[in-house]
Amino acid sequence: MQTIFRGRHFINLEDFTKEEVDTMLEVSFDLKKKFAMGVPTNYLPNQSMFMMFFEQSTRTRNSMEAGFAQLGGHAGFLDSSSMQIAHGESAKDTAIILSRFGHAIACRYCNWGYGNKYLTEMAKWSSKPVMNLQCDLYHPFQALADLMTMQEKLGDLKRVKVSIIWAYAESHKKPISVPLSQLLAFPRFGMDVWLAHPKGWELPDWVIEQAKANAEKYGGTVTVTNDEAAAYAGAQIVIPKNWGNWVTDQTGVAASGAVAVVDDKLKAQRSWKCTEAKMATADKNVMYMHAMPADRNNEVEDSVIDGPHSIVYDEAENRLHTAKAVMTLLMGGR
């Protein structure tokens, strides 16, 4: 077990070895058990964290805020529109000052071409850990919670077929960070990972290359296809979720705010929806996962997300326990 975490940034799960990710998961399970039994986990007493949000949040904000309180600390919520960032203050100045005020900075900034650059710049200047609450490229907290959930349900994940499948949605042009992080993380656990999407919704080539390298190293596989049916066939876990076609079409790019882009290219893909009929072609014990919020009746039928194969609420709860594990290790470990 690798246990040297204190003071490190949490921008991308790939920055941590497989053994270090295993440590995060072990700590997550321990904290979940303690939470269930009402055992106090006052590991970070009197610590302060600043949580900056350029976008809306339900699970991420509350798992971090509640989790940090349960660890004995206080998390302050900062809406970027009410900060001096809105008047042009730099990431450098923001990071230096906030890291002098407290013990960690966490930030969500999902806008394409802006988010990861901003977090990386903050990490360069912050004297305390900077944690990525989702950017345009990575969502490490979600990937970690997904791994915890799958281990909880299946134990050993080697050669488990998990399918990351694009799904239709209209709410806004979503970041690619969830499927990208899943595609990089899952092969490191020896899984048979399928990525299915319509033409035009590709993930970056460098991501596919890294995912395949991870699979080769850890004994899994990566298959990329435009065949939705092949991805569902025999799958033990399916993750049908929308993401924007940012790699091939930058329509809607903005420095802040979520933008809805509902054009003819998108409307032509309405059939990419998770239905009971498609679930019936998967393994008989298939599990349905989604990072949420789900665009009900666009991405997925209610009967699927509310049905017996759905584990979305367990997955969402595990955002709390994995967040607590990361904070404990980065802010209170050694």
Residues in the chain: 334
* Integer Cα distance of 43 and 101 in angstroms: 20
Q: What is the pLDDT of residue 98?
A: 98
Structural domain total, the chain: 2
In-domain check, residue 6 = no
Residues 35 and 65 in one domain: yes
Residue 160 covered by a domain: yes
Give the whole-angstrom CA distance, residue 89 versus residue 94.
7
Domain that holds residue 277: 141-314
Assess whether 281 and 328 both reside in one domain.
Answer: no
Whether 149 and 291 map to the same domain: the answer is yes
Do 110 and 155 belong together in one domain? no
Radius of gyration of the chain (CA): 19
* Residues 178 and 111 grouped into a single domain: no
Based on the fold, state whether residues 96 and 198 are members of the same structural domain. no
Burial of 190-208, coded b for 16+ CB within 10 Å and e otherwise, reads: bbbbbbbbbeebbbeeebb
Q: For residues 26 and 67, state if they share a domain.
A: yes
Q: Look at residue 2 and tell me if it is in a domain.
A: no
Q: pTM for this one?
A: 0.97
Q: For residue 20, is it within any domain?
A: yes
Q: What is the pLDDT of residues 168-197, one digit of tens each?
A: 999 999 999 999 999 999 999 999 999 999
Residues 156 and 133 in one domain: no
Using the CB atoms, write b or e for 105-128: b if 16+ within 10 Å.
Answer: bbbbbbbbebbbebbbbbbebbeb
pLDDT at residue 137 in the model: 98
Are 122 and 51 a contacting pair, CB within 8 Å? no
pLDDT of residue 62: 96
Please tell me whether residues 295 and 157 are part of one structural domain: yes
pLDDT of residue 258: 84
Question: 272 in a domain, yes or no?
Answer: yes
In a domain, 4, yes or no: no
| Pair 284, 245 in one domain | yes
Q: What is residue 256's predicted lDDT score, i.e. its pLDDT? A: 87
Whether residue 274 sits in one domain with residue 152: yes
Q: Residue 228 falls within a domain, yes or no?
A: yes
Report the phi/psi class of residue 103: left, alpha or beta, with left for phi > 0 and alpha for psi in -120 to 50.
Answer: alpha
Name 173's Cβ contacts closer than 8 Å, sequence gap at least 6: 244, 245, 246, 251, 252, 258, 259, 260, 261
Distances (CA, A) of 216 to 47, 165, 209: 41, 22, 11
Residue ranges in the chain whose pLDDT is less than 50: none
Domain assignment present for 151: yes
CATH code for the domain of 277 = 3.40.50.1370
Q: What is the pLDDT of residues 59-96, one digit of tens each?
A: 999 999 999 999 999 999 999 999 999 999 999 999 99
Please tell me whether residues 281 and 188 are part of one structural domain.
Answer: yes
The predicted structure's pLDDT at residue 31: 98
